[in-house]
Structure formats: C-alpha cells, structure tokens
Copies of this chain bind each other. A is one copy, B any other.
Amino acid sequence: MRRNETMLVDFYEFTMANGYFNSPFKDKVVYFDLFFRSLPDKGGYAIFAGLESIVEFIENMSFSEEDLTYLKNRNLFSDDFIEYLRNFQFTGDIYSVKEGSIIFPNEPVMTVRANIVEAQLLETFILLVFNHQSLIATKASRIKHAAKGRVVLEMGARRAHGVSSANVGSRAAYIAGVDATSNTLADRLYGVPAAGTMAHSWVQLFENEVDAFRHYAKVYPNNATLLVDTYNTLKSGVPNAIKVIKEDLVPKGITNFAIRIDSGDLTYLSKQARKMLDEAGLTTCKIVVSNALDENLIKALLDQGAPIDIFGVGERLITAKSDPVFGGVYKLVAIEEDGQVIPKIKISDNPAKITTPHFKKLYRIYDKDTGKAKADLISVYDEVFSEEKPLTIFDPEHTWKTQTFTNYTIRDMKEQIFKGGKRIVDLPTLEEIRAYTKEEIGRLWDEMLRFEHPHKYYVDLSEKLWTTKLNLIKEMKQQANEEK
C-alpha cells in the first residue's frame, strides 16, 4: 500500500489546529499567502513548480485509523478533534499562479482561503513541495540557460536527497527546460524522457576497452555513447572509440553516436577529442561531458570554446548544491469577520520579515509592443486596473521611484484552483507546463537571465495596499507600546 502522506505535517500544526478547534476561532475563515523572500544564487527570477503535487496531496488527504490512534495516544488532542480528522476534507479556496510561472520575491504566488484548522494542516506540505520543486526548477533553468541551446541531461538520482528528490526533482528540471533524465522512474511516473548508456564498470568488465565498446556498439548500434575515460581518455578511450565507430557503425550507415568524458580537464579533453574525431572523419560524433557540472562550469567551458554538444548534470542540479534552500514561507495575511476581509500583519525587527497584509492579487505588466514583462504589481483583492488608462507604480521601499506605463497589457497571474474544497480547473500536462515555462522565460529581458548582477525586476505594491500595510505597522507599534 502506498504510504499516506497526510501525516507529513509539522506537529505544531496539530497542536494549533486542536487549539483552534476548541476555541471561538474554530470556524474562522483566514487567508494564508505562500511567498518566498530571496532568489537562489542571487539570480534574476525563479520558477514556480509543484502545484500538481500540492493538488494531489489536498485531494487525497485522509487520516488512517493508525494515524488517529497515534494522535490519540499523544494525550494532547480532544476526542472531537480526532473525530473531525477522521472525516477531514479540505473545504476551502485556493488561488495560485500556474505551475511553471516565473515568480519573484515577496509575491503571493498562492493564497489559501479556508477555516483556520484546514489552512494550518496544509502548511507543511505546501511549503515542502513549493520550496523543493521551485528550487530545482530554478536551478535547472539557469543550467539550461548556460548551455545556450545545447542538450542538458539530468543525471543526479544517485546524489538526490531521497526517492522523491530524485523523482519530482527530475520533473522540476524538465519543466525548466532540461531535456532528459537518467532516472527511469521519473519517466514512468511523469513522462520525463529517460536516457543513458554505459558506466565505467562496463568498460572495466571486458578484457579490454575495444571489446567493451565493440560489444556495446553491437547491442545498441543506434544509441552508442562510448565512455572514454576509464583508463586514459586521449591515449586509449578516444582512439578505441574511433576504431569501433569506424569499423562497426559507419559501415552500417550510422551517423548517430557519441563519446562521453566524465573526468579530467573537460575543455582540453573535448578540444583534443574533437580534433581526433574530425580527423577520423567522424564529424557527426557528439561529445558528451559530465562531472560535477553546474551553470557556472558550463558557462566557463563554453567561454573557453569547448566543443561540447551535450551536458550531463548530476549532483549540483538535483541538490541545487550552491544554494540548496528556497526560503518559501506561508503566512497569515487576513481573516474574515462578518464577511469582511480584515488584513493581518506580522511585525519583525528585521524589515524584510514584515509581511504584506491582506487578500491580494498579483498582476504582471507587459510591454504591449515587445511582449516583455516590465513589472509586477501586487494589489488588494478588489482593485481593478484598466489597460486603457496609464498605470503608475512606485517602489514600496523607495517611494519616490515611480514608473508610468501607457502601452501595456496587464495579466492577473493567479487563478482559482479550489473552490469550496473542489478543484475547478484541469491541470496542464507536463509538456504543457514545460512549453509555458519556455514561453514565459522568453518574455523576460536578457538582463534578467544573466548570472552576475542580473537586473532586479520591479515588484511593486498598489497605493491602496501600501497604505494598508503602513497603517497596520503603525497600529501594531502603538499597540505594543500601550501593552508595556
């Protein structure tokens, strides 16, 4: 039986939920925003991934008898709360940006409107999925960008942080443009194309390298990528590969073959190997490289003119090694009282940790002529903007910095996914998500895609929202002073 993931909940969600359940707040309708605070690797953008997993989780939430017994035995929870969990199902609303969207810090990318008990029980899983999958998609997008159109293979399963890290990690990388995965299960589960040919053990097992290559070429004549660095890349591996390709594949009219270099100085070795292959007339032979690659190493290889066709990327993609934490948070931003939405705020000594209150909309403003994204605008949920009128936005930190758009389109980024607990949209296929992401990246300025000091994209608050926030901060400060 598949392990039920409903209990993947931080224990404090249960203590709080039970606490609310036994209080006047039991049926209180609240709004939680999902957002993140800073871009991994000091990049210019992030990719939102994981919506499908979140929807699947919510639709399948169910506490087993064993789960309930476990909770009962903790002697912390009331019987009626346990009874409530027995029949638990989500009854709220969820608004979210589409999976594969480009997202920026401090934007509400998902909003959960539900009673407080339900909203709390979703928190851990939503954060886990959002943080993990967006992290990997964002990293993969950078890597694919560095490869400048060349093929990138995700081959990190053996260094992944557990089974789901390998599986949904492959999926997230594919969304962001990576071309295939080494992980067969990711193909079975999600349709990420799986690929791969041979390891060093193959070469080691045969009497000699030529025999190893020859046998492989015999079994897989149309799919031979020969691993050339088991003994000595240039003295043994490449010459033996050339020999086998020329003797066993070329005579059959085959032109699709490759060599793979997995160690050493990849620039030097790929240049020398290219020369040797070309001199042997094997100009169609592709060169695959791997070995702890990431976007910076790939960029360096290409800057040095390394003639590489395909990059195999492992541990540094699947773990997002250079910056493995995507700091997504899930914060209470409003409550309902008598049908009115009342904004709530969390104050902090650290200004970056003060939340933006209220039930909010997220708009993206595009230049009408170029189609490029110009800025994002966060507003109160009931504000309406017309493309017919000029739109002035201002920086929420430096309010004297304003920008006025006249020739623009404006897009409401979030759509409602759940209404009264029921999903009301069809989820896109993986290929649709991938195509959407590619399109969205195409709408970013090149200056946002670079790795060094990328252009900082504008994410502004509407004046109404900004005023609301400021007033709440003042109010809270006053209240804190009075309480002293």
User: Which residues of A line the B interface, CB within 8 A?
Assistant: 1-3, 5, 7-16, 18-20, 22-23, 25, 28, 30, 32, 66-67, 70, 76, 116, 120, 123-124, 127-129, 131-132, 135-136, 155, 157-169, 182-185, 187-189, 194-202, 204-206, 208-210, 215-216, 219-220, 223, 229-233, 235-236, 239-240, 263-264, 315-316, 319-321, 324-328, 330-332, 335, 344-350, 353, 476, 479-481, 483-484
Contact yes or no, B11 A195, CB < 8 A = yes
Q: Please give the distance in Å from A47's CB to the nearest CB on chain B.
A: 16
Contact yes or no, B163 A66, CB < 8 A = no
Known contacts A169-B161, A205-B116, A325-B319; is-contact A347 B230 (Cβ 8 Å): yes
**25 pairs, A vs B, C-beta closer than 8 Å:** A5-B163, A9-B185, A10-B196, A11-B183, A15-B197, A15-B220, A18-B219, A19-B215, A66-B188, A124-B157, A129-B162, A131-B159, A161-B161, A162-B168, A164-B165, A204-B344, A204-B345, A208-B479, A235-B480, A236-B483, A236-B484, A239-B484, A263-B350, A315-B325, A324-B324
Contact yes or no, B325 A480, CB < 8 A = no
Chain B residue, CB-CB nearest to A16: B202
Contact yes or no, B127 A196, CB < 8 A = no
How many copies of this chain does one complex carry?
2
The CA of A28 and the CA of B205, in the complex, are separated in Å by 9
The CA of A168 and the CA of B8, in the complex, are separated in Å by 12
What residues of B have a CB within 8 angstroms of the CB of A160 in the complex?
128, 131-132, 161
What residues of B have a CB within 8 angstroms of the CB of A197 in the complex?
12, 15
Q: Please give the distance in Å from A157's CB to the nearest CB on chain B.
A: 5
Q: Please give the distance in Å from A30's CB to the nearest CB on chain B.
A: 7
Contact yes or no, B169 A162, CB < 8 A = yes
| Contacts beyond the supplied A7-B188, A23-B219, A162-B162: 16 A-B pairs with Cβ under 8 Å | A11-B184, A11-B195, A11-B196, A15-B198, A16-B201, A19-B220, A70-B188, A159-B327, A161-B162, A163-B163, A201-B331, A204-B345, A230-B346, A236-B480, A263-B348, A316-B325
